[in-house]
Chains A and B, each alone.
Chain A
Amino acid sequence: MPVPVRLRVNNAPREHTLDPRVLLVHYLRDHCNLTGTHVGCETGICGACTVLVNGKAVKSCTMFAVQADGAEVTTIEGLATNGHLHPVQQGFWERHGLQCGYCTPGMIMASVHLVATGAAGSREQIAEGLRGNLCRCTGYSHIIDAVEQAAQAEVVRG
C-alpha cells in the first residue's frame, strides 16, 4: 500500500507517494533523479550511499524512504553552493582523493560530517572516522590528505 512522504532534499520540498519498501537511496536516485548517491553493497558496509539526514551521515541503503518523512536530506548534489565546491569536494579534487569516483560521493558526505562535527582533527581521527566507507582505488592516503586539508580550511574559515 503506497504511503505519502514529505521531506526536503537539498533545500527543496519533495512530496511523493511511495511503496513503503523503497529504500532511501532508491528514492533519491529513481524518484528525485539524484543519481550522485551510489549503491555499492545494499548492506550498509561500503558507504557509497552515504547522505546527510538532518545533518548526520546516514547510509541511505539501510533506511526506508518513509523513515525520512519530515527530514532534511542533503546529497552530494546539494553540497556545492552558488557553483562553488564545498571545501571537502575541493580537497578531494586538489589532493587526488578519488580515482574511479564511485565511492566518492559517499566518502565526501561522510567526510563533511566528520569535518562539521570537529571529528577530523588528526589523520588518525579521520581514518577512524572513515571506517564506514570503502574505497578500492586510492588506498585512502590521498582521501585522508583531502579531508585534512578541508578540516584546516574550515578552521581558517571559522
Chain B
Amino acid sequence: MADQSAPYVGQAMKRIEDPRLVRGAGTYTDDLRLPGMLHASILRSPHAHARIRKIDTAAAKAIPGVVAVLTGADVNAACGLVPCAAAIPDLKAPKHTVLAGDRVYFVGHPVAVAIATDPYIARDATDAIDVDYDPLPVVTNMEDAVKEGSPLTHPDLGTNVAYTHSVAGGGDIDEAFRKADRVLKHRLYHQRLTPMPIEPRGAVASYHTGEATLTLWSSTQIPHLLRTLLPGMIGVAENKLRIVAPEVGGGFGCKLNVYPEEALLCHLAMRLNAPVKWIESRRENAAATIHGRDQIGEYEIAVKNDGTILGIKSRTLADLGSYLQLLTPAVPTLTGLVLTGSYRIPAVKIDIVGLYTNKMSTDAYRGAGRPEATYLIERLMDVVAHELGIDRIELRQKHFPQPKEFPFTTACGVTYDSGDYQAALAEAKKIGNWDQMLKDRAAARAAGKLSGIGLSTYVEICGMGPSKAMPAGGWEWGCVRMEISAKVTVITGVSPHGQGQETTFSQIVADRIGVPIGDVVVLHGDTNVAHYGRDTYGSRATAVGGSAVVMCINKIIAKAKTIAAHLLETTEDHVEFANGIFSSPGVTTRQLSWAEVAGEAYVAKNLPPGLEPGLEASSFFEPENFTYPFGTHICAVEIDRDTGQVKITKYIAVDDCGPQINPLIVEGQVQGGIAHSIGQVLFERTVYDENGQLLTGEFMDYPLPRAADIPEYVLGATVTPTPVNPLGIKGVGEAGTIGATPAIANAVLDALEPLGITHMDLPMTPERVWQAIKTRSTATV
C-alpha cells in the first residue's frame, strides 16, 4: 500500500543499519576494549569421553602475563549449572557444569581456563596446561546408543535415553492402517549440521565493584533470556545484571542459548575484579557451539490406491549430543508438530526417542525441527506419488485444506492460522513456467542428461509464540516515546542480528505516526535500555515484536488525541489524526503538529486535568497463536554423470509470509535461507569418527556454500495475512531453509529416477551421487 498515509511500509528501502556496517564501524563483541581488560582462553578436551586423572597448571601459571589458570574444581561451585528450558516429562538430565568435573563427555568440552594480559599469552597458557586423561568407551552412533548393552554417554544416568515422547493425534491410527490398500515405509536421515555464523561466539564481562553490578556483552540472540537465566547460575540478582548484545555477526539459532562460557566470564570478572574478554576460535565454534538436526526417522504411511493418505506413523531417533542446552530436547518435538505439513492427513502417531551421545549438543538451528518435518513429509509425498504412479502435484493438491477451512486444525494438534496453499503453488508454477520446465527436462533426458525437477509445498510454524506453548513466555515487549523534539524513539525487546528490524520497525512507526523515517531511532539489545524482551528466534521478531510496537503507537496516538482535544478546545471524538497532524474539522481550522502536542505533553502547563505528562507507551504483545507461513519451492537440477556434481539450473520460490514491510529484506531472508538448504542438501555434514573425534572442525572440512554454488533465483510471493497479530505478518526468517531442502533433494532424486535410484541420504555430495550412479549403472549392465 504505497499511498500517502503509508509511504514506507511495503517499500524496498535501503537499510538504516548499513552505513555503519559497510564502513566497518559496527561494534561487535570482539571490538570492545575496556581499560585493564584481561583475555581468557579455554582449554578443551581432545577426547570424546575420558576420566580426568590430573590437571597440572604450574607451567601455565609460570608464563609472564598469565593472571590465573582455573579448572572445574576452582569455578564450578560458583557458576551453577547450565540451564535447559524445555519441559519434557521424565527427562533424564546430566549435571552440566561450566567446566568439566572429573570427566569429559565430548571433544571440545571445556576443561580449564587461562586468563592473561594478552590473548596470545592466554593461548600460550592453555597450551602449557598438562591434563592426564584416561579414555573411556565412546558413544557416537545413535542407533547403537539405543541398544541394550551399549556403552553409556553418562554412566551415572544408567541409560543413553534422555526421554521418550509419544503423540497420537487425529483419528484412530490403527484403523487408518487397517483401511489402507498399501503401507509404504521409508527411512530418512536428517544429518547433523554446524550453524557456522561467520562471527564466532564471544563475551566480555565487567564487574562494577561500587554498584555491585555486572555487565556482560555477548554475541547472543537472547540478551533478555540471559538476564533471566544467568542470575540462577552466578548469584548476581537480575536487577544488578546488564546484558548487552552489541552488533552480532549472525546466529541462525546457535546463539539462542545460555553457554557455559557466559557464566564463566561473569564469574571471572568478579573473581579477578577486572574486565575479561573471551573470543571463540573457529575450531571452538565448530566443536562447542550447538549443532543442528541429527534425526533418523522411520516412517510408515497408510494409503489408498487412489493416493488418499490415511495416516502416518513416525519413529524418530534424535541425537541430542552429550548435554542439554537451552532447547535441546524440545527441538525434535517441534518436528512432531508439523509432521503432516500442508496436508489433510487424518491420523498420526509420533514416537520420539532423544539420545545422549559423546558429541556436542544439538539445539535450535535455523528452522529447528520444522526443516526435519518438512523434509520428511515432502519426501514422503514424492515417494507415495512414485509408488502409486500418481502425479506428485495432484497428490499434494488432493490433500491441501481449502482457504475457507482455516483456521485448520491438524492431526498433530496445531491450528494453522490462515492459508491458500493452492495459490502459492499456482504462482510458483506460473513464474517458473512449469510446463516449459517439464519440456526442458524431457529434452535434456532425451539428450542423455540426468535432469530433474523437485518441489515442496511447505508450511512452517513461526511468530513464536503464544506463551502457553513456549517454555519461557512468548510475548514481546516494546516501547515508543514521542520525544519533546518530535523525534521518535522505539525500544524493542527483540534482538536483531542481521534481520534489519531497525529499518522495518522504523518503516512501521514512521507510517503510523506520520513522521519522516529519519526521525525514528530503534534501540535494542541492551537490557538497561530495552527493559524486557524475549529476543530473536523462531521468525518472531517482526510478527510479535513489531506487534508490540504497534500497540505502543496506538496508545501514544490515543493520548496525543486527548491532549490535542484539550488544546483545540474540543472533545477527543472530534479530533482526527492523519499524516502526523491533529485537526478537528468543523470545530476549528487550527491544526496541531506532533511538535506542538509533544511539547505540551512534556512542558505540562496546559494538560487536561488528571492526565499524566509525557508521551511514552510500553506494551507487552501476547500472540494468541503461532503463525503458519507457507509456500512452494521448485528446483531444477542437472547432474554430471562423470563427477556426480549436482548443478541447480533453476530455482523458484514463492513464499507467503503475509504482508511484507520491506520486500528487499524479505528477499534477503529467503535467499539466505535457501543457501543454508543448498549447503545441507549438497555439501554440509558434521562428522564425528567412531572415536568421537570431530572431523569437521574448520571451514576447510565443513564446506559452506560459496557464491559460485548459488543459482539465479526466480522469487515470488502470495499475501495471506494472519489474523493473530495486528500487522498480519507471519515471519520469513526460516522459510527458505524449511522450503528449500526437500525441493532440492526431490530434484536430485527426480534426476536419478530414470536410473532406478529412489533414495539417497543427505548431503547429496558428488561422491555419494557418483557412487550411486556407478553402482546402479553396473547393476543394470
* Chain A residues within 8 Å of B, Cβ to Cβ: 19, 21-22, 26, 29, 33-43, 45-46, 48, 75-77, 79-80, 85, 89, 92-94, 96, 98-105, 108, 123-124, 126-128, 130-131, 133-144
Q: Is the CB of A45 within 8 A of B24?
A: no
Q: Is the CB of B31 within 8 A of A101?
A: no
Q: Is the CB of B699 within 8 A of A134?
A: yes
A27 to chain B, nearest CB (A): 12
What residues of A have a CB within 8 angstroms of the CB of B497 in the complex?
100
What residues of A have a CB within 8 angstroms of the CB of B18 in the complex?
92-93, 98, 101
Contact of A96 among B25, B26, B120, B664 (CB under 8 A): B664
| Bound Cα distance from A79 to B24, whole angstroms | 10
Contact of B23 among A19, A77, A94, A135 (CB under 8 A): A77
What residues of A have a CB within 8 angstroms of the CB of B706 in the complex?
127, 130-131, 134, 140
Tell whether A93 pairs with B15 under 8 Å between CB atoms, given A99-B500, A137-B250: yes
A101 to chain B, nearest CB (A): 3
Q: Is the CB of B22 within 8 A of A96?
A: no
B756 within 8 A of A: no
Residues from 360 to 405 in B contacting A, C-beta threshold 8 Å = none
What residues of A have a CB within 8 angstroms of the CB of B499 in the complex?
99
Tell whether A137 pairs with B22 under 8 Å between CB atoms, given A38-B28, A101-B247: no
B323 to chain A, nearest CB (A): 25
Q: Is the CB of B30 within 8 A of A100?
A: no
B452 within 8 A of A: no
Q: Is the CB of A46 within 8 A of B699?
A: yes
B282 within 8 A of A: yes
B112 to chain A, nearest CB (A): 21
What residues of A have a CB within 8 angstroms of the CB of B197 in the complex?
100, 102, 136
Tell whether A139 pairs with B22 under 8 Å between CB atoms, given A130-B707, A144-B707: no
In the complex formed, the residue of B with least CB distance to A126 is B707
Q: Is the CB of A102 within 8 A of B28?
A: yes
B4 to chain A, nearest CB (A): 25
Which of B17, B708, B710, B712 neighbours the largest number of chain A CB atoms within 10 Å of its CB? B708
- Can you list 24 contacts pairing A with B, beta carbon distance less than 8 Å? A26-B119, A34-B24, A35-B28, A35-B31, A38-B198, A48-B198, A77-B24, A85-B19, A100-B197, A100-B198, A100-B248, A100-B251, A101-B26, A108-B22, A127-B707, A130-B707, A131-B708, A134-B198, A136-B195, A136-B196, A137-B250, A140-B675, A140-B706, A140-B710
Q: Is the CB of B250 within 8 A of A102?
A: yes
Q: Is the CB of B15 within 8 A of A76?
A: no
* Chain B residues within 8 Å of A, Cβ to Cβ: 14-15, 17-19, 21-28, 30-31, 33, 119-120, 195-200, 247-252, 279, 281-282, 497-500, 664-665, 667-668, 671-676, 698-700, 704-708, 710, 712-713, 736
Contact of B498 among A36, A85, A94, A100 (CB under 8 A): A100
What residues of A have a CB within 8 angstroms of the CB of B673 in the complex?
139
| Bound Cα distance from A133 to B198, whole angstroms | 10
Tell whether A43 pairs with B698 under 8 Å between CB atoms, given A127-B707, A144-B707: yes
Which 4 interchain pairs have the tightest Cβ spacing?
A36-B24, A102-B249, A101-B21, A139-B675
Q: Is the CB of B282 within 8 A of A41?
A: yes
Q: Is the CB of B198 within 8 A of A135?
A: yes
| Bound Cα distance from A135 to B247, whole angstroms | 16
B525 to chain A, nearest CB (A): 13
B429 to chain A, nearest CB (A): 22
In the complex formed, the residue of B with least CB distance to A39 is B30
Contact of A100 among B120, B200, B249, B675 (CB under 8 A): B249
What residues of A have a CB within 8 angstroms of the CB of B281 in the complex?
42
B679 to chain A, nearest CB (A): 9
The total number of A-B Cβ pairs within 8 Å is 180
| Bound Cα distance from A94 to B23, whole angstroms | 14
Tell whether A38 pairs with B199 under 8 Å between CB atoms, given A85-B22, A102-B28, A139-B674: yes
In the complex formed, the residue of A with least CB distance to B119 is A26
Q: Is the CB of B698 within 8 A of A102?
A: no
| Bound Cα distance from A99 to B713, whole angstroms | 18
Q: Is the CB of A75 within 8 A of B668?
A: no
| Bound Cα distance from A92 to B198, whole angstroms | 18
With contacts A96-B667, A139-B675 known, what are 6 further pairs, Cβ within 8 A?
A40-B199, A46-B198, A100-B497, A103-B249, A140-B675, A140-B710
Q: Is the CB of B713 within 8 A of A141?
A: yes
What residues of A have a CB within 8 angstroms of the CB of B699 in the complex?
41, 43, 45-46, 134
| Bound Cα distance from A19 to B406, whole angstroms | 67
What residues of A have a CB within 8 angstroms of the CB of B712 in the complex?
123, 141
B592 to chain A, nearest CB (A): 36
| Bound Cα distance from A29 to B200, whole angstroms | 17
What residues of A have a CB within 8 angstroms of the CB of B707 in the complex?
126-128, 130-131, 133, 135, 140, 143-144
Tell whether A142 pairs with B671 under 8 Å between CB atoms, given A37-B24, A96-B665, A127-B710: yes
In the complex formed, the residue of B with least CB distance to A142 is B668
| Bound Cα distance from A144 to B195, whole angstroms | 23
What residues of B have a CB within 8 angstroms of the CB of A142 in the complex?
667-668, 671
Q: Is the CB of B30 within 8 A of A101?
A: no
A121 to chain B, nearest CB (A): 15
What residues of B have a CB within 8 angstroms of the CB of A99 in the complex?
250, 498-500, 668, 672
A105 to chain B, nearest CB (A): 4
A97 to chain B, nearest CB (A): 8
In the complex formed, the residue of A with least CB distance to B31 is A35
Q: Is the CB of B22 within 8 A of A40?
A: no
B652 to chain A, nearest CB (A): 14
| Bound Cα distance from A123 to B21, whole angstroms | 24
In the complex formed, the residue of B with least CB distance to A94 is B14
| Bound Cα distance from A26 to B14, whole angstroms | 32
Q: Is the CB of B30 within 8 A of A21?
A: no
Tell whether A102 pairs with B24 under 8 Å between CB atoms, given A45-B698, A134-B704: no
Q: Is the CB of B30 within 8 A of A35?
A: yes
B635 to chain A, nearest CB (A): 14
In the complex formed, the residue of A with least CB distance to B286 is A41
In the complex formed, the residue of B with least CB distance to A147 is B707
B246 to chain A, nearest CB (A): 11
Contact of A98 among B21, B199, B705 (CB under 8 A): B21
What residues of B have a CB within 8 angstroms of the CB of A46 in the complex?
198, 282, 699
Q: Is the CB of B282 within 8 A of A40?
A: yes
Q: Is the CB of A19 within 8 A of B120?
A: yes
What residues of A have a CB within 8 angstroms of the CB of B282 in the complex?
40-43, 46
What residues of B have a CB within 8 angstroms of the CB of A123 in the complex?
712
What residues of A have a CB within 8 angstroms of the CB of B33 in the complex?
33
Q: Is the CB of A40 within 8 A of B198?
A: yes
Contact of A141 among B198, B250, B671 (CB under 8 A): B671
Q: Is the CB of B500 within 8 A of A75?
A: no
Tell whether A136 pairs with B198 under 8 Å between CB atoms, given A45-B700, A131-B708: yes
| Bound Cα distance from A142 to B707, whole angstroms | 10
What residues of A have a CB within 8 angstroms of the CB of B25 in the complex?
36, 77
Q: Is the CB of B24 within 8 A of A139?
A: no
Tell whether A137 pairs with B498 under 8 Å between CB atoms, given A19-B120, A142-B668: yes
What residues of B have a CB within 8 angstroms of the CB of A133 in the complex?
707
What residues of A have a CB within 8 angstroms of the CB of B17 in the complex?
101
Q: Is the CB of A138 within 8 A of B671?
A: yes
Tell whether A138 pairs with B120 under 8 Å between CB atoms, given A94-B14, A99-B500, A104-B22: no
What residues of B have a CB within 8 angstroms of the CB of A124 in the complex?
708
Q: Is the CB of B19 within 8 A of A93?
A: yes
What residues of B have a CB within 8 angstroms of the CB of A41 in the complex?
282, 698-699
| Bound Cα distance from A53 to B30, whole angstroms | 23
| Bound Cα distance from A137 to B672, whole angstroms | 5
In the complex formed, the residue of A with least CB distance to B26 is A101
A77 to chain B, nearest CB (A): 5
| Bound Cα distance from A140 to B713, whole angstroms | 11
Contact of B672 among A29, A101, A138 (CB under 8 A): A138
| Bound Cα distance from A110 to B706, whole angstroms | 14
Q: Is the CB of A96 within 8 A of B198?
A: no
| Bound Cα distance from A123 to B250, whole angstroms | 25
Q: Is the CB of A101 within 8 A of B671?
A: no
| Bound Cα distance from A100 to B708, whole angstroms | 21
